[in-house]
Amino acid sequence: MLSRTGLRLSSAITALLVSQSTYADWELNMPQGVTQVSQSIYDLHMLILWICVWIGVLVFGVMFYSMYKHRKSKGAKASKFHESLTLELLWTAIPTLILILMAIPATTTLVKMYDSSDAQIDIKITGYQWKWEYDYLGEDVRFFSNLATSKDEIYNKQDKGENYLLEVDREMVIPTGVKVRFLITSSDVIHSWWVPEFAVKKDAVPGYVNESWVNVPVGKEGIYRGQCAELCGVDHGFMPVVVRALSQENYQAWLDDQRAAKVAEAAAAMGDFSYDELMTTGAEVYAGRCAGCHGQSGEGMGTIFPALKGSAIAVGDVDAHIDVVLNGVPGTAMQAFAAQLSDVELAAVITYERNAWDNNTGDTVTPINIIDARK
């Protein structure tokens, strides 16, 4: 949905960054990341790792020495010692000291991570089964971010792309050199918003607003990818997080583009749409947003996700159908799509549901109908 300028800008940035390969360190170890916080966390990780390695070398060293030397087949005679207060005190005291030394940098880092004050930009992140919503508070920019990898790639009918499962239709965009605060919550179950390169992982809990923040240094513009980290249902593995960091000017340009696109979209909704146009768009929207639960052919899934083929809603009263799609069904897995889809998309998908798979109601729902229903 980026405008042409935005696209050109971002593709140039992408080309630059992909060649540097953001994932060079992703093979064996924790990424060092791009922020101060992620660097301190990486340093803590390496420190405690090396402490463990050296303790391991020491303890296992003694153990292997004794397993080699003190075996009966080598004629070793067992001594009878079985107590030493000095030793016991020593190996209680030394680990205690190491732990205290370890606790100091850990505490400092944690305090830093918890300080989300003085942020210049607030982005509200809401987890949904199975997508993220980004709301730029005070900027009138708000959109959903869905997995962009196709079912054909997932089911091995097509070659997998480079960013398989880590690509979305609309990325979160943030500026560099600015402290950005994330306000994280959920509309259904618990999710967890995670970008390893930022060392930001925070649970999205319904009824709570959790805070986290990032300050991507200038010069680190690029695309950063992560995933939902908390089991959130059947498509938990399919809700990636993608953040594009832009320079501050480009960020402002992007914001303007978003607002302009919104105006254009509203104007488009007032136009005329043929049945065929709506059916084509509807099929795409259905495959992307609805088929995950209601099935590719409207056949439903299990006891939680009802079939749409021949269902009372899909072949019954049009207004009731629009109401369910717009507002969801509270207390069930059916979400409200009013904010997630545009008027055109909503009209198209409802038209599609009412005519596909032998539903054949012959009804055409237009964007105007949706605009009326929204009132």
Partner 1 sequence: MMTSATTLHEDHGHHGPAKGLMRWVLTTNHKDIGTLYLWFAFTMLLIGGSMALIIRLELFQPGMQLIEPEFFNQMTTMHGLVMVFGAIMPAFVGMANWLVPMMVGAPDMALPRMNNLSFWILPFAFGMLILTLFSEAGAPNFGWTFYAPLSTTYAPSSVTYFIFGVHLMGISSIMGAINIIATILNLRAPGMTLMKMPLFVWTWLITAYLLIAVMPVLAGVVTMMLMDIHFGTSFFNAAGGGDPVLFQHVFWFFGHPEVYIMILPAFGIVSQIIPTFARKPLFGYSSMVYATASIAFLSFIVWAHHMFTVGLPLATELFFMYATMLIAIPTGVKVFNWVSTMFNGSMTFETPMLFAVAFVILFTIGGFSGLMLAIAPADFQYHDTYFVVAHFHYVLVPGALFAIIAGVYYWIPKWCGRYYNETLGKWHFWLSFVGVNVTFFPMHFVGLAGMPRRIPDYALQFADFNAVASIGAFIFGLSQILFLYIVIDAIRNGKKATDEVWEGTEGLEWTLPSPAPYHSFSEPPEVK
Instruction: Enumerate residues 321-340 that contact partner 1 by CB under 8 A.
Output: 330-331, 333
Asked if residue 134 lies in contact with residue 205, where contact means CB atoms within 8 angstroms, the answer is no
In the complex, the smallest distance separating the C-beta of residue 273 from partner 1, rounded to whole angstroms, is: 35
Q: Is 210 among the residues that bind partner 1 (CB under 8 A)? A: yes
Q: What are the residues facing 251 on neighbouring strands?
A: none
Q: Which of 193-201, 276-284, 321-329, 349-357 is the region at the interface with partner 1 (rule: CB under 8 A)?
A: 193-201
Q: Which of 8-16, 173-181, 185-193, 320-328 is the region at the interface with partner 1 (rule: CB under 8 A)?
A: 185-193
Q: Is 109 among the residues that bind partner 1 (CB under 8 A)? A: yes
Q: Measured from the CB atom, is 199 or 365 closer to partner 1?
A: 199
In the complex, the smallest distance separating the C-beta of residue 7 from partner 1, rounded to whole angstroms, is: 24
Q: Which of 97-105, 137-145, 318-326, 363-371 is the region at the interface with partner 1 (rule: CB under 8 A)?
A: 97-105
Cα angle value 269/271/275 (rounded, 5°) = 95
Determine phi and psi for 171, rounding to 5 degrees. -85, 155
Q: Which of 27-35, 247-255, 259-267, 275-283 is the region at the interface with partner 1 (rule: CB under 8 A)?
A: 27-35
Binding residue for partner 1 (CB under 8 A) from 16, 36, 206, 252? 206
Pick out residues in 283-312 that bind partner 1 (CB under 8 A).
301-304
Pick out residues in 333-372 that bind partner 1 (CB under 8 A).
333
DSSP string over 106-136? HHHHHHHHH--TT-SEEEEEEEETTEEEEEE
CB atoms within 10 A of CB 104: 9
Q: Is 92 among the residues that bind partner 1 (CB under 8 A)? A: yes
Q: Which of 168-176, 194-202, 246-254, 367-375 is the region at the interface with partner 1 (rule: CB under 8 A)?
A: 194-202
Binding residue for partner 1 (CB under 8 A) from 116, 179, 237, 336? 237
Q: Is 29 among the residues that bind partner 1 (CB under 8 A)? A: yes
Q: Is 80 among the residues that bind partner 1 (CB under 8 A)? A: yes
Q: Is 203 among the residues that bind partner 1 (CB under 8 A)? A: yes
Binding residue for partner 1 (CB under 8 A) from 17, 142, 238, 327? 238
Q: Is 101 among the residues that bind partner 1 (CB under 8 A)? A: no
Pick out residues in 215-234 that bind partner 1 (CB under 8 A).
226-234
Cα–Cα distances (Å) from 201 to 48, 74, 162, 191, 192, in that order, read 20, 54, 24, 10, 7
Question: Site for partner 1 (CB under 8 A): how many residues?
Answer: 99
Q: Measured from the CB atom, is 136 or 224 closer to partner 1?
A: 224
Alpha-carbon Rg of the chain, whole angstroms? Answer: 27
Interface mask (CB under 8 A) for partner 1, residues 146-175, using x and -? -------xxxx---x-xxxxx---------
Strands of 131-136's sheet, edge to edge?
A: 141-145, 131-136, 121-128, 180-186, 210-214
Dig out the tokens for 235 from the structure. Answer: 């498509």
The amino acid occupying position 238 is F
Cα–Cα distances (Å) from 304 to 255, 300, 324, 326, 346, in that order, read 39, 8, 16, 19, 23
Return d(Cα 75, Cα 238) in angstroms, integer.
Answer: 61
Burial of 15 (0-12, 13-18, 19+ CB in 10 A): exposed
Terminal alpha carbon distance of the chain: 26
Q: Which of 9-17, 53-61, 276-284, 346-354 is the region at the interface with partner 1 (rule: CB under 8 A)?
A: 53-61
